[in-house]
């Protein structure tokens, strides 16, 4: 489907004014409601990507709109010289839902997942050690510190040398972790569910074993739940079903439903490793962002969206798996990945967009779905019904390109 005239005009203006860090965007979106968005030419799309697991409550949710509007009309920004009621209340709520009551914990607020991981990396340095063990296929962000932990060479190599000493091991390989962690290791960092890699799920046994290794060798265990947190997997954290208590948890993306915010949680001794003057942020803990996050947490609880994520995710995984070209489906809740055979994932994304669906390719044969937690059974059933036709159109695109 060719772009409409307004879309083409804005994209041309974008290329003339915005740095080319993302290439030419796919769409110019103008408004949204629920899980639907409309572009500047008035075309409607069903959003099964949710801003990459950010739009927890979908678009223009009344609770989120009211919280942001009321707070901005009351107090918009104060800097880190002061605190506010929303900041204190959000810290308390996060500790209540994310950490065990018997464990002392504290929160550092920032503005993004990369920043949350930067704070966590600084915490690990306060142990006096510098070595980090990270997972292959990991993605932790694009800032220098978070990039140093991200495994994809194409992301890292243009900016090397990067800080720190990092060893990557295969995701889920306990023996490899045990061999890599030494008395010089500051931390092991794990995404309990790898999103950027195509939705890979760590087993409870793996997380438990790594907890044992890190405890024995005096290293911190750090769970990056930037994408997998906030109820998306059917639990507040993807790691919760394992029962493993880490030393650090990082959050962002869905925390405030689209308003920029990040959080780094320190548990136990890690809660006190950063002291005054050792880290900071001007916008972190902004009252508007904190009010938005409180509205998201309240709505998840009152509307039963964690339970809804379980049911919706099961329905989505079962439905898309029916096509023979889908050879594997992974994920938990409404963070779902699949592997295709005989169909190129980027062409599937393009065919889906032509048909009015927004999804994401995370590799040549991998697709990711991360719809808002409010996604309905009807939305899912309509995607499942459209899915074979989307795959057919992707195959046809490839054939046309080859001819």
Question: Are both 140 and 249 inside the same structural domain?
Answer: yes
Whether 65 maps to a domain, the answer reads: no
Whether 258 maps to a domain, the answer reads: yes
Tell me the average pLDDT across 174-202: 97
DSSP 321-344: TTSTTEEEEEEETTEEEEEESSS-
Closest CA to 172 of 139, 137, 142, 144: 137
Whether 51 maps to a domain, the answer reads: yes
pLDDT at 2 over 80: no
Domain boundary among 269, 302, 335: 302
CA 232 to chain centre: 9
Q: Work out the pLDDT band at 164, boundaries 50, 70, 90.
A: confident
Tell me the average pLDDT across 155-173: 95
pLDDT at 299 over 90: yes
Counted domains in the chain: 2
Query: pLDDT tens across 31-89, in order?
Result: 999 999 999 999 999 999 999 999 999 999 999 999 999 999 999 999 999 999 999 99
pLDDT at 1 over 80: no
Peptide bond into 161 cis (omega under 30): yes
Is there a contact between 300 and 306 (Cβ–Cβ < 8 Å)? yes
Domain boundary among 286, 302, 318: 302
Task: Note the pLDDT of residue 319.
Answer: 98
Task: Note the pLDDT of residue 209.
Answer: 98
Whether 137 maps to a domain, the answer reads: yes
Query: pLDDT tens across 223-249, in order?
Result: 999 999 999 999 999 999 999 999 999
Q: Token pair for residue 282?
A: 């001007």
Task: Note the pLDDT of residue 3.
Answer: 86
Domain that holds residue 125: 75-302
Find the DSSP H helices in 245-369: 287-302, 305-320, 345-354
Question: Are both 9 and 125 inside the same structural domain?
Answer: no
Question: Are both 224 and 291 inside the same structural domain?
Answer: yes
Task: Note the pLDDT of residue 392.
Answer: 98
Whether 12 maps to a domain, the answer reads: yes
Q: Work out the pLDDT band at 403, boundaries 50, 70, 90.
A: confident
Query: pLDDT tens across 331-389, in order?
Result: 999 999 999 999 999 999 999 999 999 999 999 999 999 999 999 999 999 999 999 99
CATH number at residue 374: 3.90.1150.10
Question: Are both 367 and 275 inside the same structural domain?
Answer: no
Question: Are both 295 and 309 inside the same structural domain?
Answer: no
Task: Note the pLDDT of residue 107.
Answer: 98
Q: Considering the chain, what is the average pLDDT of its residues?
A: 97
Domain boundary among 302, 330, 359: 302
DSSP 156-217: HGGGPSPSSEEEEE-TT-HHHHHHH--TTEEEEEE-SEETTTT-EE--HHHHHHHHHHHHHH
pLDDT at 217 over 80: yes
How many Å apart are CA 155 and CA 157, to the nearest integer?
Answer: 6
Task: Note the pLDDT of residue 136.
Answer: 98
Question: Are both 261 and 378 inside the same structural domain?
Answer: no
Question: Are both 357 and 378 inside the same structural domain?
Answer: yes
Question: Are both 311 and 220 inside the same structural domain?
Answer: no
Query: pLDDT tens across 6-18, in order?
Result: 999 999 999 999 9
Query: pLDDT tens across 82-134, in order?
Result: 999 999 999 999 999 999 999 999 999 999 999 999 999 999 999 999 999 99
Is there a contact between 290 and 111 (Cβ–Cβ < 8 Å)? no
Whether 243 maps to a domain, the answer reads: yes
Question: Are both 55 and 198 inside the same structural domain?
Answer: no
CATH number at residue 100: 3.40.640.10
Question: Are both 317 and 337 inside the same structural domain?
Answer: yes
Question: Are both 176 and 277 inside the same structural domain?
Answer: yes
The b/e string for 256-271 (b: 16+ C-beta within 10 A; e otherwise) is bbbbbbbbbbbbeebb
CA 342 to chain centre: 28
Q: Work out the pLDDT band at 402, boundaries 50, 70, 90.
A: confident
Whether 68 maps to a domain, the answer reads: no
Whether 259 maps to a domain, the answer reads: yes
Question: Are both 33 and 121 inside the same structural domain?
Answer: no
Residue 325: how many other CB atoms lie within 10 Å: 17
């Amino acid at each position: 489907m060719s772009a409409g005239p307004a879309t083409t005009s804005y994209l041309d203006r974008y290329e003339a004014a915005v740095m080319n860090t993302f290439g030419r965007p796919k769409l110019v979106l103008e408004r949204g409601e629920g899980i639907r968005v409309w572009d500047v030419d008035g075309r409607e799309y069903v959003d099964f990507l949710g801003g990459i697991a950010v739009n927890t409550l979908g678009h223009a949710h009344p609770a989120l709109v009211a919280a942001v509007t009321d707070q901005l009309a009351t107090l918009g920004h104060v800097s880190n010289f002061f605190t506010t009621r929303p900041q204190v209340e959000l810290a308390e709520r996060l500790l209540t839902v994310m950490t065990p009551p018997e464990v002392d914990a504290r929160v550092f607020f920032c503005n993004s997942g990369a920043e949350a991981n930067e704070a966590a990396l600084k915490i690990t340095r306060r142990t006096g050690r510098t070595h980090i063990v990270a997972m292959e296929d990991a993605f932790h962000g694009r800032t220098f510190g978070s990039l140093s932990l991200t495994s994809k060479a194409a992301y890292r190599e243009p900016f090397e040398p990067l800080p720190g000493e990092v060893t990557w091991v295969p995701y889920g390989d306990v023996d490899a972790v045990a061999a890599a962690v030494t008395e010089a290791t500051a931390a092991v960092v794990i995404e309990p569910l790898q999103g950027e890699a195509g939705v890979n799920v760590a087993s409870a046994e793996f997380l438990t074993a790594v907890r044992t290794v890190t405890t024995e060798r005096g290293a911190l265990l750090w769970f990056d739940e930037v994408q997998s947190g906030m109820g998306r997997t059917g639990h507040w954290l993807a790691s919760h079903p394992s029962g493993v208590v880490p030393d650090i948890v990082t959050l962002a993306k869905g925390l405030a439903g689209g308003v920029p915010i990040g959080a780094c949680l320190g548990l136990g001794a890690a809660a006190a490793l950063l002291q005054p003057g050792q880290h900071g942020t001007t916008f972190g803990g902004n009252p508007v962002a904190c009010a938005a996050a409180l509205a998201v947490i309240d709505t998840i609880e009152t509307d039963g969206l964690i339970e809804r994520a379980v049911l919706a995710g099961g329905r989505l995984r079962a439905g898309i798996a029916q096509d023979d070209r889908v050879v594997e489906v992974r994920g938990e809740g409404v963070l779902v990945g699949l592997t295709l055979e005989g169909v190129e994932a980027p062409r599937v994304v393009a065919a889906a967009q032509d048909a009015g669906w927004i999804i994401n390719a995370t590799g040549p044969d991998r697709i990711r779905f991360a719809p808002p937690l409010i996604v309905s059974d009807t939305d899912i059933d309509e995607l499942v019904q459209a899915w074979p036709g989307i795959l057919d159109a992707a195959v046809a695109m490839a054939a046309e390109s080859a001819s």
